[in-house]
Structure 1
């Protein structure tokens, strides 16, 4: 197990089996992305109102979205790197809207589990530095998402 994942379901809608499946998907993604042992990650599942608040507060966008990622181990200029054996690698936080995922699963005509899996992997890849601002970046990121989801068994 490479990544210690804390899951928080603020909506109280995900079953134990669904949470376990998310944990397993994180392990598949972390293995495929060679994430180092001892890395920590949190995933919080919220309602549309909460994700809209977060989106407004941190991204200046007053709208509901499906997933937001906050990388915690990105080093910015003029920041001193802290090095030490006891310091965990905090990859970051992923926030996912359960109602938005439900809507999108219906819209894309696939299962809720597939949509949640997609959003989890999408968030992890953002935390690892993947992006989709350009056509080339989008092609690379979405190709990798598809590979990870296929390896786990969540194909469209």
Structure 2
């Protein structure tokens, strides 16, 4: 398994040629950021939405009834009082061919590990409001691609544990973002 990006477009009308070009850019940014942070495998899911879609998520998960630019939902972090996830039999059943018992036991253990958690390869989900990214690109005087890239890398860094709760953390996280964007040629 390698580091990969899956994406969903929830906006009315869905994705078109313009969005296909964005995905090439975002895959490049994911590869650069992954290399920078030593993340070599896993799946990141990106959802493109509108201001109403991200407002609903922001309200549901953060208690803030307003749109935002990007949200991240890490599958690597656990939170206090998180419910146990149970999978149906489809994911828990492991079948092996008859043969060498030792090899079968090792294979069953490996498959059981992989199948017992179908989300084991998931790093997390990033949700970006495209209209908000367009507004911010205009406000900041740079390209939409740079803003989209900034939000995506910002979201990815949150997925792998970075935060910007204080000035030191913010400096570190934003320096990492800028390094990735510069390597991809997305400067201001």
Normalised to the residue count of structure 2, the TM-score between the two structures is 0.75
Match of 1:24 in 2: 28
Q: How much does 1:29 deviate?
A: 1.0
Please list, as runs of the form range in 1=range in 2, the aligned pairs for 1:1-156 lying within 5 A after superposition: 2-11=2-11, 12-13=14-15, 14-37=18-41, 39-76=42-79, 85-86=113-114, 88-156=120-188
Q: How much does 1:89 deviate?
A: 2.7
Q: Are the structure 2 counterparts of residues 143 and 8 from structure 1 closer, same or farther at C-alpha, using a change threshold of 3 Å? A: same
Residues 78-99 of structure 1, C-alpha deviations (whole Å, 9 max, x = no match): 878xx96525331110000000
Which has the higher Rg, Structure 1 or Structure 2?
A: 2
Q: How much does 1:77 deviate?
A: 5.4
Name the CA distance, whole Å, in 2 between partners of 1:70 and 1:27: 19
Q: Look up the SS of the partner of 1:110 in the other structure.
A: coil
Cα RMSD between the aligned structures? 2.0
User: Which structure 1 segments of 5+ residues have no match?
Assistant: none
Normalised to the residue count of structure 1, the TM-score between the two structures is 0.90
Runs of 4+ in 1 over 6 A off after TM superposition: none
2:69 and 2:129 in contact (8 A); partners too: yes
Q: How much does 1:36 deviate?
A: 3.2
Q: Look up the SS of the partner of 1:68 in the other structure.
A: strand
* Structure richer in helix, relative to its length: 2
Name the CA distance, whole Å, in 2 between partners of 1:151 and 1:66: 23
